[in-house]
Amino acid sequence: MVPRLTDARKELRRAQIAEAAVRCFGRNGLERTSIADITAESGLSAGSIYAHYRNKADLIQAAAREVLAKRAEVLGAYAASDTPPGPDELLARLIAAIDPVEARVGVQTWGEATTDPVIRDIVVDMTDRMRAMLHDCLTAWLVKVEHHEAAGAREHAAPIAHRVMSLYQAELLYTALRSPTEETAR
């Protein structure tokens, strides 16, 4: 009889697979990464991977959500602090936290989104979520630091969040283009 995985163990296994997928995508590209590559990278069987993810698009979505979850935790902490960072400081902190592998995977995903509707939906969803988190953080800054009224702060924060998001995405692209891949580093 095969032992059943606990929910916590399932989540750890899913994270292990998603992290292996990100490394493979960063090294080989989305299109050239196979489930066999992810199997080898994760040290798990193909059956184990398929038990957690239906296909590569499912893995791409999980990888994107994992990266976004890291940003959400940080942005939530910023928004909850007594003195949330303003737009310039917020952008500087986000840029400092860019991981080159994650940046390469992100840019590849954007490229795939131009021709694959499933990937496009993932990218649009992740972009909208990130912009909403930036909006919340900047609204908190306007209220707590700049002393705006809450209703007006939300409206005022929207175009600022859009600009911060655009500049952050530009830095992701710049990082992805200037970073050598793990393949050429070997």
Helix (H, G, I), strand (E, B) or coil at 44: coil
pLDDT classification of 155: cutoffs 50, 70, 90: very high
**So what's the pLDDT on residue 69?**
78
**So what's the pLDDT on residue 182?**
43
Enumerate the domain spans of the chain.
Answer: 7-180
Which two tokens mark 34? 């196979």
pLDDT at 71 over 50: yes
Higher model confidence: residue 76 or residue 163? 163
- Answer yes or no: pTM beyond 0.75: yes
Segment 42-66 mean pLDDT: 87
- Which segment of 35-39, 70-74, 154-158, 174-178 scores lowest on mean pLDDT? 70-74
Q: Count Cβ atoms below 10 Å from residue 177 Cβ, excluding itself.
A: 10
Kindly state the DSSP code that residue 54 receives in the 8-state scheme. S
Does 7-180 carry CATH code 2.40.50.140?
A: no
Helices 100-113 and 150-178: crossing angle, nearest 10°? 100
Could you tell me the maximum CA-CA distance found in the chain, to the nearest angstrom? Answer: 62
pLDDT at 77 over 70: yes
**So what's the pLDDT on residue 5?**
67
Residues 97-153: pLDDT tens digits? Answer: 998 988 888 888 888 889 988 888 888 988 898 999 999 999 999 999 999 999 899
User: pLDDT > 70: what percent of the chain?
Assistant: 93
Residues 18-31: pLDDT tens digits? Answer: 889 988 988 898 88
